[in-house]
Structure 1
Amino acid sequence: MEVEDDPWFNQRYQPSIEPLLTRRNSALRSDIYKWWQSLQKDSRASNYNTVVKKLFKVFPDNKQYTDAGPERCRTCAVVGNSGNLLGSHYGALIDFNDFVIRMNRGPTKGFEKDVGSKTTHRIIYPESVVDVDNSTHLVLLPFKTLDLEWLISAFTTKNITRTYVSVKSSVNANKDMVMVIHPAFIKYVYDNWLWKRGVYPSTGFVALVFALHICDEVKVYGFGADNVGSWHHYYEKSRRRYRPGKHSGDAEHEEILQLNIRGKIKLF
């Protein structure tokens, strides 16, 4: 991506920012830590540095996706959970990509024709976790130190069963393929891409910007309302309308449309 050719994109996209947390890059500036800890008012916050040391005794500490170059063209599908996927017949198109990134509980079983069956990365937080197969990266989107503690617990002692709601005490996933989105990356998405609109970015929008950093071609499916303007999940029978809550749905929608217009993503 030749960012200098597009001032709009250049204002937002910072190629040097690392999306994934490692032991080497784990130190947080005080302003980032303060913002990150404020997202869910974690009154039980443990010492972040101590938790990170424990984290990388359990999970891999590898620098990922640094192989960008003219000889690489990694294609990625970011698959949201919108009801607009129903009847789309996008399944084969989605599965054709090198990486298929899904969010939260969005299932594939029973919906393969429309959403595909392949998942290489599933981005979750403790309150939305589901089991994944052995070939899928479980990618934690942490909103507080307790989320990192939960991840450790889910693969070791299994003693954390509650955050601000009840959560699964364990998860089936390949421990060697676990990844963690960097708190500084979440703030970068909020500051650079959303210009601090809303309280914090949605999982889907973080996933999209994550894809822009690790992929060469990004295709986006299952975002937005369905063809009659209803906001609901493709896997739910009731078509209840979802409110953006703490996310700025309008701001995220604007950015996604601009990315599509400017040829940085292909929006289906």
Structure 2
Amino acid sequence: MKCSLRVWFLSVAFLLVFIMSLLFTYSHHSMATLPYLDSGALGGTHRVKLVPGYTGLQRLGKEGLSGKSCACSRCMGDAGTSDWFDSHFDSNISPVWTRDNMNLPPDVQRWWMMLQPQFKSHNTNEVLEKLFQIVPGENPYRFRDPQQCRRCAVVGNSGNLRGSGYGQDVDGHNFIMRMNQAPTVGFEKDVGSRTTHHFMYPESAKNLPANVSFVLVPFKALDLMWIASALSTGQIRFTYAPVKSFLRVDKEKVQIYNPAFFKYIHDRWTEHHGRYPSTGMLVLFFALHVCDEVNVYGFGADSRGNWHHYWENNRYAGEFRKTGVHDADFEAHIIDMLAKASKIEVYRGN
């Protein structure tokens, strides 16, 4: 009898050990495969995603849960909505020329120096070193907060803005980017009154309010020398045309357009149509690389097919379109493609 009881107890004990072993194995496997756990035991209040790798548990913010890179209704930089766009877009190229990317690749250097060839050559790096003693030379767009929405308006100079009534809508954006002359006084109802970024080259430059970033689009080393001079000694007064000897802008907000980014647009997007992309295209792709949502105003012809500027009374003043420097039709095609890919919203005006 005692022997039978001993055998029975041993059998029950073995069975209990076996069952507990199965439960432990199952629970361990479940922990490893469940994608989310309640993080209360970790002292948090959010859900935690278990991510494979060597870092263990990784707490995800809202962007991790939604899979979006921003808090906008549409995030320009998110892949997967257009194969055409994804095959062209390169987020690794900075639109700003800084201390960190001063050295241009040889092919970029050659291409850039031929845009407006100069009789006298200059060492670009030496020129930049001097310039970056006057202006920051940093990339202000390096870090993006995925829990915010950076909405940007790219405002062109087309006559189709006249009578559009877009002004209030334009002013509602975080960044408002304008180019060259682009007056706002007297046209506020149609083009808005605010500006955060103004893109110009030396021959089109004008004074700006202190709260506006001047983005210099350089076509030659002399342009870099000019901005350094215009913010200090005022010695340079002529490039291929008369330029302002002094410029009133906020030095801390001066940014330099990256020639490598310039060539990237020429190679990948406008595909060598025209000698080089227009200022409008340069600004548009700058926005596509630093913004979450991009809305485009004042590009293309007006409703009558005329190409002119919104501040001009002559509707037939758009002779720039006939120069052959830019391919306006192909650039219009690219804008249409971007709109169809849901990367931009285009407001056509009148």
Q: TM-score, normalising length from structure 1?
A: 0.97
**TM superposition shift of 1:35:** 0.2
Please list the CA deviations of residues 246-265 of structure 1 after superposition, one character each: whole Å capped at 9, or x if unmatched: 01111111100111111100
- 1:251 matched to 2:330? The reply is yes
**TM superposition shift of 1:69:** 4.3
CA contact (8 A) 2:309 2:318 kept: no
Segment of structure 1 superposing worse, 68-77 or 257-266 = 68-77
**1:177-188 equivalences in 2 (<5 Å):** 177-188=253-264
Three-state SS of the structure 1 residue aligned to 2:154 is strand
CA contact (8 A) 2:81 2:341 kept: no
Please list the CA deviations of residues 180-211 of structure 1 after superposition, one character each: whole Å capped at 9, or x if unmatched: 01110100010111111111010110000000
**TM superposition shift of 1:238:** 2.1
In structure 2, distance between residues paired with 1:200 and 1:113:
33
Match of 1:9 among 80, 85, 100: 85
In structure 1, distance between residues paired with 2:223 and 2:197:
18
**1:163-182 equivalences in 2 (<5 Å):** 163-182=239-258
How many residue pairs get matched?
Answer: 268
Q: Which has the higher contact order (CA 8 A, sep 6+)?
A: 1
In structure 1, distance between residues paired with 2:153 and 2:319:
23
In structure 2, distance between residues paired with 1:126 and 1:3:
37
Q: 1:168 is matched by which residue type in structure 2?
A: K
CA contact (8 A) 1:45 1:146 kept: no
- Residue 146 of structure 1 corresponds to which residue in structure 2? 222
Q: Give the unaligned 5+ runs of structure 2.
A: 1-76
Match of 2:319 among 229, 242, 245: 242
Match of 1:84 among 160, 174, 192: 160
In structure 2, distance between residues paired with 1:151 and 1:5:
40
CA contact (8 A) 1:137 1:174 kept: yes
Segment of structure 1 superposing worse, 159-168 or 77-86 = 159-168
Q: TM-score, normalising length from structure 2?
A: 0.75
Match of 2:340 among 256, 261, 266: 261
Who wins on radius of gyration, i.e. which is larger?
2
**1:104-143 equivalences in 2 (<5 Å):** 104-143=180-219
Structure 1 segments, 4+ long, off by >3 Å, are: none
In structure 1, distance between residues paired with 2:91 and 2:287:
12
Q: Give the unaligned 5+ runs of structure 1.
A: none
Segment of structure 1 superposing worse, 163-172 or 108-117 = 163-172
In structure 1, distance between residues paired with 2:310 and 2:192:
13
